[in-house]
């Protein structure tokens, strides 16, 4: 019997990709970078960020260190820690101002609770940072439990992320369905760990996935 709907946060409930892109484009002139091909820089930043964050999830570097890695690799500069931290602040302040919840996020969370289920969150983000994001976007009041990767032995898609989240929630994998936008972290990973899973495919990128929804209004509440 379904007891918990376990949501991803970034690009599931909150438009992280849009906020990051807008922040980067606004930050580039401050860095004095060539803007002839800003989309190339957006792509480069995204790839560097993904790789650095994956290292953080594997516990190879800290959350703060992954920010410094992103700055150094993006600029190709051997900055000090303090210099990298100051530079990253220019991006971070813009990024945080751009956070916004998707229109279907609050209605979906309310629908889960109205059905007598627990609306929980499993995020690979840093706990303090992600709770601030929930507060800033008005989602905090609609989420019952927040499980962040720094509460766990490893982040998604490591199987320990899902099993540990279930332990924190006091349920078995059979009691949970995971909903998120990432095929590996929010769909295949949970399935391999024994949870139910539904892929949120807002932009129709994964037509080959049978268990997918286009909006959060379609989250299944029976299982």
Residue 208 has pLDDT above 80, yes or no: yes
Paired strand residues for 123? 148
* Closest to 144 (Cα-Cα) out of 5, 16, 11, 8: 5
End-to-end CA distance of the chain: 6
Q: What is the 3-class SS of 25-90, one letter each residue?
A: HHHHHHHCCCCCCHHHHHHHHHHHHHHHHHHHHCCCCCHHHHHHHHHHHHHCCCCCHHHHHHHHHH
Domains of the chain: 4-15+100-218 (3.40.50.1000), 16-97 (1.10.150)
What tens digit of pLDDT does each residue of 140-175 get? 999 999 999 888 988 999 999 999 999 999 999 999
Q: What is the mean pLDDT of the chain?
A: 94
What tens digit of pLDDT does each residue of 177-187 get? 999 999 999 99
What tens digit of pLDDT does each residue of 88-122 get? 999 999 999 999 999 999 999 999 999 999 999 99
């Amino acid at each position: 019997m379904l007891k918990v709907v376990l949501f991803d946060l970034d690009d599931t409930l909150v438009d992280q990709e849009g906020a990051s892109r807008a922040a980067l484009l606004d930050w580039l002139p401050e860095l004095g970078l060539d803007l002839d091909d800003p989309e190339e820089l957006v792509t480069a930043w995204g790839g560097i960020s993904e790789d650095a964050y994956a290292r953080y999830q594997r516990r190879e570097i800290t959350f703060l260190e992954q920010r410094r890695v992103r700055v150094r690799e993006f600029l190709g500069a051997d900055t000090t820690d303090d210099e990298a931290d100051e530079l990253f602040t220019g991006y971070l302040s813009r990024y945080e101002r751009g956070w916004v919840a998707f229109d279907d996020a609050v209605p979906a969370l309310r629908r889960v609770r109205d059905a007598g289920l627990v609306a929980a969150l499993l995020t690979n983000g840093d706990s303090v940072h992600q709770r601030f994001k929930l507060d800033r976007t008005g989602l905090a009041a609609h989420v019952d439990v927040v499980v962040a990767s720094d509460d766990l032995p490893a982040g998604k898609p490591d199987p320990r992320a899902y099993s540990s989240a279930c332990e924190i929630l006091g349920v078995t994998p059979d009691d949970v369905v995971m909903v998120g936008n990432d095929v590996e972290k929010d769909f295949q990973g949970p399935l391999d760990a024994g949870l139910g899973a539904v892929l949120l495919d807002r932009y129709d990128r994964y037509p080959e996935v049978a268990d997918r929804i286009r909006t959060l209004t379609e989250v299944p509440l029976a299982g």
